[in-house]
Amino acid sequence: MSGSERRIEEADGALLFEVGATGVARITLNRPQARNAMTFAMYEGLVALCARIEADPAIKAVIVTGAGGKAFAAGTDIAEFRKVTTPEDALEYERFMDRVLGTLERVRVPVVAAIAGACTGGGAAIAAACDLRLATRDARLGFPIARTLGNCLSLATLKRLSALVGPARVKDMLFTARLVPAEEALAIGLVTEVVEDAEALAVRAEALATQLATHAPLTLRATKEGLRRLAEGGPAAEEAGEDLILMCYTSADFREGMEAFLAKRPPDWKGR
């Protein structure tokens, strides 16, 4: 896929996907009439798009955003929870969400969440699984489930949030069920940058993703995967990165980087 090709990944157009000439892919959550609330089919579509991105070496960075400028995603569509009627259904739902979020987190290229308006529940979980988060000044992020549904987050999602803002702030967000405004989210590390409005968000997200697409892909990949492994933990986490070191140091890109630096020219990264 190349150029500005656009594909609708779900019959009703709830997910849009396009890849620009610069190698930046854009995933748009496209249910603005429902504040981009996620259906199970949309979550599955997100997994399918991650597989498409993995298989396309022309893609260098990804933007995930919501349509309409009023919401990134207002969580899982409540109607979907009517399907959760047994203990196994409950466990299967959280396993399903862990699979979706884990797949997004493991995508080989940088993923930028462009957040305007409401970013709650499953939407906030998607944003947390991205690598960088940009937000508009009117953005609000959180998990208000203690005053709405009365469910809980999986341990994998709690770990991901704790890695971003620490356990004390995760408790604050979940216990109070409040939505964190953009400026506070920036101060605590929940988002990485705040812009004025949805128009500025689209411009800044494209500029940032385009910049990332010009950088050494193996360096970005190794950094992303290394941090993920450290967050995952385990007794051998710090010793388990030799493959990442070898991936970078034995690559043609490493040789190209050295030669380009010495020749005072821009490197021509190939990702291998």
Predicted confidence (pLDDT) at residue 249 exceeds the cutoff of 50: yes
Provide mean pLDDT across the span 237-264.
91
The alpha helices in the chain, defined as continuous H runs, are 40-55, 87-105, 122-129, 155-165, 167-176, 182-188, 198-213, 217-232, 242-249, 252-263
The predicted pLDDT at position 7 comes to 52
**pLDDT exceeds cutoff 60 at 20:** yes
DSSP 117: S
Q: What is the dihedral of CA 45, 51, 52, 57, to 10 degrees?
A: 150
pLDDT, tens digit, for every residue of 28-85? 999 999 999 999 999 999 999 999 999 999 999 999 999 999 999 999 999 999 999 9
pLDDT exceeds 50 at position 4: no
Q: How many CB atoms lie within 10 A of CB 180?
A: 25
Here the tokens at position 267 are 């490197």
For residues 22-34, one letter each, b for 16 or more C-beta atoms within 10 angstroms of the residue's C-beta and e for the rest, the string is ebbbbbbbbbeeb
Structure tokens that stand for 103 in this block: 């797949």
Task: Report the number of secondary-structure helices (H) and strands (E) in the chain.
Answer: 10, 11
Torsion of the alpha carbons at 77, 150, 190 and 49, rounded to the nearest 10: -30
pTM: 0.93
Q: pLDDT digits over 108-150, tens only?
A: 999 999 999 999 999 999 999 999 999 999 999 999 999 999 9
